[in-house]
Every structure is written in structure tokens, then in C-alpha cells.
Amino acid sequence: MAKYIFVTGGVTSSLGKGIIAASLAKLLQARGLRVTIQKFDPYINVDPGTLNPYEHGECYVTEDGAETDLDLGHYERFLNIFTSQANNVTTGRIYQTVISKEREGAYLGKTVQVVPHITDEIKRRMLQLGQDGRYDIVITEIGGTVGDIESLPFVEAVRQLQWELPEEDSLVVHLTLIPYLKAAKELKTKPTQHSVKMLSQEGVHPDIIVCRTEKPLFPELRRKIALFCNVKQEAVIEAADAATIYEVPLLMMREKLDIICLKKFNITDYKEPELSKWKEFLDKLKYPKSKVTIGLIGKYLELQDAYKSILEAFVHAGAVNECQVQVVNVHSEFITHDNVAEKLAGLDGLLVAPGFGHRGVEGKIVAVKYARENGLPFFGICLGMQMAAIEFARNVLGLKEAHSTEMDPDTKDPVIDLMEEQKKITAKGGTMRLGAYSCELKENSLASRIYGYSPISERHRHRWEFNNKYLEQFENAGMVASGKNPGTGLVEIIELPKHPFFIGVQYHPELKSTVENPQPIFVGFIKAAKEYAEKKANVKNPLLQSEMI
């Protein structure tokens, strides 16, 4: 049977519970334990798939096609493992299960209540991943902040489990904030005291308190927190602001967060943490030898979390290339034929982001045209790939009205069309083409050079696809379909062999990029951007150019 770590949060949201949970998991994994993490979210949506990115950031898709919270992305990037539907549970999903059981008559005439029926279902799911012997440790992150009405049933479930599980099989880590008051030049512990008190009133006593802080927690302060919050002083952990999230595991190791957990669990047969790959990555990240600027064209740019996995994939790919990747946001709604050159000046690569609906698409098409005509490295993801197809159809094939039926249902030339199996679907939740699909690569293509093997498998989240009726026309004009689904023939990758680097993919490669396995297209794209930047620098400096000749 596995051991369980519950991670709660207090004082405020956005303290980085997901990163702390993932860092602890990383350390335990590096010490030879088999670890997984799950997230319990207190909102009523069955999954975040129907949420606008402005509400909850990116929707992360797992191999098995679950639409999940973006923290699962952190778990996969840190641990280099796959998560699944079982790793993300919402209040909505819990209620859905309980209500359908009630309809089946499973409760035998009983009144169905939050306690015990909802809490029993929460507990069942909290324990589930730890029951088949696959994991030594299951970490459960509870979304929201302690004191929220909606997180109460989850905290209650943790309370019950602490009683039901053997003493050395579970522990609670509580993450809080120690604010620094500039005027008083002091770190303040009161909010932490209050949040621990609130958690205790709900019946859960934390074993470890992790304190987010801008300034070091000196021993006196740690003593005070330990005293007022009733934990051992060694269990008061400093989580200082870090330059990158990837440094947090090392900060937590210095604070012995993993050792304290192992001690509580009576686990003694652990090894020194094996983090050499991780440290190598961090070194490259911290000391880049060059720099590129990538334009991210999207429409949810006000919120960085909307493109979380893309931004992290750039961090991984930058480190491999020993290159700092500066991502600049370019709002697609404001790009026109007249200003595109000015808006994209200074870029070494262009990424057109995934998205839904018609807002901002014309700007994206204009940007793709610029990249295609000017040899600017281009990478289109999902909607970005579809925009590249539309741009090519309009400006190279001369199909002036070409469009996607998502934006223009009556277009004369639907080069992007709704997938056949999507035509009958009306419900929105969980009904897209989701999860991992196989894709065969064309020999000698850019895609096959980038991946180095075939078939590949990547994750999807879309309803529309490239319309194969137009494929011959596209290929005759120089746009190659270099990746196809072996079963259905769906076009998954398009590329322009005559361009230095022009690739569009129907899937979401960013979802599989991890610290230890950076995603190959991102790596290739940054390499191409580096070459583009070098060439640009040489043109600007003719002296250097002649010297080089």
C-alpha cells in the first residue's frame, strides 16, 4: 500500500502549490521511490475543458484524452511520467458519480449527503492510485485555499483519512505566505498562524508548513511559526522566490522537505538523490550562450497561464540549445497587412498558438504570410497549423475565400473542415478529438529529421482538420503533408520544404515536453531561430560578413 501526502494551501491562491508538490515528488522520485501526483479541484465543472483560458489558464490534455488542470503539466514536466484522468478530480466529477449512483439506486433508500457520501467518493478517489502497487507515494494537491466553502468536503476527506490510515502512512503539507512589510522591514507570520488555525478547526493538523517568502526565514521566525502552528521547527520550510520554477526542487532539498516526509513515513531505504540530468539542465538554463526572440501570436496573451505548456516547452528547448528564449506576445487582433512588418520586426521565429473561434484569426493569417515570404522560422500549433493551411490556400493557391468552417461555415473553399465524427456531436464537454494518436512521418521530411523515428505519438485537442480534398492541390504547389494518421489518413503535419523552417502540426507537441525529454519540434525550432538570428546579425554587420567569407 502506498503512502499519501496531502498538500493544502492557505492565505492566498497562486502561491505555487503545484510547483511545491511537483518538487517534493521530484525529490522523492530522485531518491528511488515511485511517485505520482493528483489534483483535486473544488469547482463544479466536471473538468476544465469547458473553461475559457481566462478563467483557469491552459487546459492540459493527458495521454488518455482527459482535459485537466494545468498543474498536471507541471507534474509531467517535473517527473517525466504520464498522468491520466485519474490524476485530476473535480467537485463536479465527484457529484456526477454520486448522483448517477443514486439514480441507479445504489444507496438503498438512504438520504444522500455530503458526509458521508460525497466525502466517501472523494476518499475513494484519493486512495485509488495508491492501491495497485504501482506507486510508493501518492501526492494529492487540494486546489483552492483553506477556508473556502467549496474546499471543505476535500479537507474533511483528508481529516477522515488521517484517522483511517496508519499513522505513518499519511501526512499533510500546508503551503502559506509569509508577507514582507516594506514599511516595517519585517516578515509577518500572522496570516500563516490564522490559516493553520483555520485548517485545524476543520480537523486537519499539518505536519509540515512550507512558507513562501521573499526574504530568508531566520531561525527566530521559524521557531515562532513552529510554536504557534504546533509543528516541529525542522518542519517549517522556507520556500524562497526562485529565478525559475526548476530550481525549486533543489531549494526544497536544501530545506530537507523530502527527508522530513520520509522520516514521518518510516522509510529508511532511500538513496542519495539522482538529479544529475536535472542539474545539467539548470546549468544550461542559467548560463545561455546566445539569445533568440520568439513571437507568440495568440489571443489570450493577457494571461500567461493560457499558454503555460508552450512557454515551458520553450524553456526546455532553450536549455538544449544553450540559448535564452525570450518570448514576446503579439496580439493577433492588432496585426494587419500594413503593420505586420513592423509588429514582427526583431523576431527570430514565429509561433502561432492554438485557439478557438474567429477572434484574431485574420491577424494570424497575415502573420503566417509574412513568415512564409520572409524565411522567418514558423511553427504553427493546432489552430496555428490550420491558419498556415488557410494562408497557403488563399495566397499561393489563389483560393481567395478559403477558410475553416469553424470561422465561416459557408466558405466556398473549406480547406479546414469539421471532422466527420464531430458532425453529429452537440455536447461540448469532453467531445473533441482528445489524447494521444499515432502519426506516420514522411521520409526525408523536416518532421522526420526532427523526430528521428516514425511513427510518433502526440496529443490532440481539436474538432476541425485539414480537408484532404485539397491535399493534391497543396502538394502540387509545394506544401507537403509530412505526417498522417496511419488509420484515418488525417493530415497531422504540414511543412514547406523550400522554407528554412516552416512547420504546422495539428496536435499539441508542447504537452509532452519535459525537462528530461524536451520536445523535438521545439528544439528544432529554436535551433532554426538561432541560425536566423546569426544570419541577421551578419547581414547587419557587413564587416563581420566579409571577414567570415
Residue 448's nearest CA partner among 496, 483, 488 is: 483
Enumerate the β-bridge partners of residue 239.
212
- Which of 56, 174, 499, 508 is catalytic? The answer is 508
The dihedral through the CA atoms of 481, 483, 485, 490 has a sign that is negative
Site membership for ligand GLN, residue 354 (CB under 6 A): yes
Q: Is 117 a catalytic residue?
A: no
Write the interaction track for ligand GLN spanning residues 356-395; mark x where CB under 6 A is met and - where it is not: x-------------------------xx------------
Q: Is 382 a catalytic residue?
A: yes
Distance (Å, whole) CA 140 – CA 172: 10
- Which of 74, 382, 458, 465 is catalytic? The answer is 382
Distance (Å, whole) CA 386 – CA 407: 11
Cα 414-64-488 angle, rounded to 5 deg: 40
When the beta carbons of 281 and 466 are compared against ligand GLN, the nearer one is 466
Site membership for ligand GLN, residue 461 (CB under 6 A): yes
Under rule CB under 6 A, which residues in 517-546 are in contact with ligand GLN?
none
Interface with ligand GLN (CB under 6 A), residue total 10
Q: Is 439 a catalytic residue?
A: no
When the beta carbons of 282 and 382 are compared against ligand GLN, the nearer one is 382
Number of neighbours of residue 185 by Cβ within 10 angstroms: 8
Which of these segments, 90-98, 276-284, 350-358, 470-478, binds ligand GLN (CB under 6 A)? 350-358
Which of these segments, 271-279, 391-399, 460-468, 480-488, binds ligand GLN (CB under 6 A)? 460-468
Which of these segments, 312-320, 437-445, 462-470, 541-549, binds ligand GLN (CB under 6 A)? 462-470
Distance (Å, whole) CA 282 – CA 165: 38
Under rule CB under 6 A, which residues in 15-44 are in contact with ligand GLN?
none
Residue 152's contacts (CB-CB under 8 Å, 6 or more residues apart) are 202
Given 462, 484, 499, 530, the residue binding ligand GLN (CB under 6 A) = 462
Site membership for ligand GLN, residue 406 (CB under 6 A): yes
Residue 383's nearest CA partner among 347, 348, 412, 359 is: 359
Distance (Å, whole) CA 52 – CA 59: 9
When the beta carbons of 136 and 510 are compared against ligand GLN, the nearer one is 510
Which stretch of DSSP H or E encloses residue 261? helix 257-264
Q: How far is the CB of 511 from ligand GLN (least distance, A)?
A: 11
Q: How far is the CB of 506 from ligand GLN (least distance, A)?
A: 8
Rounded to 5 degrees, what are φ and ψ at 350?
A: -130, 125
State which amino acid sits at residue 42. Answer: P
Listed in sequence order, the DSSP H helices in 307-382 are: 308-320, 340-344, 361-374
Instruction: Decide: helix, strand or coil at residue 199.
Output: helix
Q: How far is the CB of 510 from ligand GLN (least distance, A)?
A: 11
Site membership for ligand GLN, residue 464 (CB under 6 A): yes
Distance (Å, whole) CA 283 – CA 510: 22
Instruction: Decide: helix, strand or coil at residue 184.
Output: coil
Q: How far is the CB of 38 from ligand GLN (least distance, A)?
A: 24
When the beta carbons of 384 and 520 are compared against ligand GLN, the nearer one is 384
- Catalytic center residues: 382, 508, 510
Q: Residues interacting with ligand GLN, by CB under 6 A?
A: 354-356, 382-383, 406, 461-464
